[in-house]
Amino acid sequence: MEKTKFEYGLIKVKGHSGVKGNEEADRVAKNDTGKSTCITINDSQQKDLKYDLYWDGKRVDRHIRKFIDNLCGSALEASWSFNRTHRTIFQDTTHMIEEKVTWAIFKKNTGFNCTTTTVNNNFIKHLKLTNNLLPTLEIMKERRYDLYGDVKCRLCLVENEDDDHIIYCQQLRDKWLIMANNTINKCEQMFKDFLSKKEYIQLNQEDIQQLHLWNRNFFVHTTGFNQELPIPFVHLMLRNLFPKGRYRELRSIVKSEKATLTIASLFLEMFITEFYKVIWQSRCDIVADWERTKGIKKQDLRKKISAQQRIVYERIPTQQVEDGTYNLKGRKIFKCGEQWSVALEKTRQYINQFIKNGNRRVVKAFTKAI
């Protein structure tokens, strides 16, 4: 402002003072969608100013701030779907997961400016899982093929150890059952503490029993459950994704949305903590032993090797079929452009739906007025 020699002043406007612009701003802030235009300023000095917000050729008859919020939210969802590792699961799992819980966990672990090391470490743990970046042997091979060569999973010694193999490895099956049990037991204790603090949630005796039952039966096999998995939902929960069905059940027990979200994210967090403790830690101990016998040291891994020494290793095997590329589990791998159009179409539908609902409300109010 100083640069442009702009003259300015601040004037405090009293509430309800009858200043037209101020009254109008008040009206809009109170989410008055009954009027046909969003902001109308009738000022005697200027000509009547009328603002209409248009989106994709349609007038937005809603509270503008809410609309922008929603628009930003959808854009975030769309960009979320661009995440390389989610490209393959984007199409077949979005209807199975409750994204709110994932966001709740990430929000909990990100500070505005600085965070403590513990919070930061938690954040990294979740982030790595979400992006399939756990340093499995397959990832280590990609980085340093010269050191890791064709090493197989150190537990079964047969298959390549990628993040899927951690779920499917036969040698880890018992450990998965143990960690599922641990999760349930620890959550039971946590729910007891949670329920004892009456300010958070109030449930009658029957609901409390239902909640404990929900927890006890969380990993009980459901119909259509993929028998190859060691426990149900592990492929989702290991990516910080919470199964939608279980979320709905929980919601019908505790009623309040806020409490549902809190309990679900506590459960998911406990699951991840137990995963690191029971599965990942024990796997790492074994791999560390193997690395010692091979003479691979931590400082070797930090060193960068020259380009001509580097051996390229392609981790994800794919199959080329007529209409596109598929991974070995038969999931289509989108090209970036295709991903764009799917995501954009999703956003567009969502926003249009949102506008339509808004208009419906206005029409209702209008017909009532007549």
How many amino acids of this chain bind Zn ion (CB under 5 A)? 4
Query: SS3 of 332, please?
Result: strand
Please report whether residue 284 would count as binding Zn ion according to CB under 5 A: no
For residue 154, the minimal CB distance to Zn ion (Å) is: 8
Q: How far is CA 144 from CA 147, 275, 303, 311, 324, in A?
A: 6, 26, 10, 8, 30
Q: Which is nearer to Zn ion, 157 or 369 (CB)?
A: 157
Please report whether residue 153 would count as binding Zn ion according to CB under 5 A: yes
Please report whether residue 301 would count as binding Zn ion according to CB under 5 A: no
Please report whether residue 155 would count as binding Zn ion according to CB under 5 A: yes
Note the residue count of the chain: 370
Q: How far is CA 301 from CA 42, 48, 148, 296, in A?
A: 69, 69, 11, 8
Choose the stretch contacting Zn ion; rule: CB under 5 A; options: 167-175, 221-229, 239-247, 265-273.
167-175
For residue 153, the minimal CB distance to Zn ion (Å) is: 3
Exposure letters 22-36 (e unless 16+ CB within 10 A, then b):
eebeeebeeeebeee
Choose the stretch contacting Zn ion; rule: CB under 5 A; options: 44-52, 148-156, 287-295, 327-335.
148-156
**50: which strand partners?**
40
When binding is defined by CB under 5 A, the residue of 60, 169, 279, 351 that contacts Zn ion is 169
Q: Which is nearer to Zn ion, 154 or 239 (CB)?
A: 154
Q: Which is nearer to Zn ion, 32 or 174 (CB)?
A: 174
Choose the stretch contacting Zn ion; rule: CB under 5 A; options: 62-70, 149-157, 219-227, 326-334.
149-157
- Token pair 């200043």: residue: 19
When binding is defined by CB under 5 A, the residue of 25, 156, 208, 305 that contacts Zn ion is 156
Instruction: Give the tokens for residue 286.
Output: 């074994």
Please report whether residue 231 would count as binding Zn ion according to CB under 5 A: no
Q: Give the whole-angstrom CA distance, residue 145 versus residue 142.
A: 6
CA 106 to chain centre: 8
For residue 275, the minimal CB distance to Zn ion (Å) is: 16
Q: Which is nearer to Zn ion, 37 or 170 (CB)?
A: 170
Q: To 5 degrees, how large is the angle CA 223–CA 229–CA 231?
A: 75
Query: Of 281, 298, 335, nearest to 84 (Cα)?
Result: 335
Contacting positions for Zn ion (CB under 5 A): 153, 155-156, 169
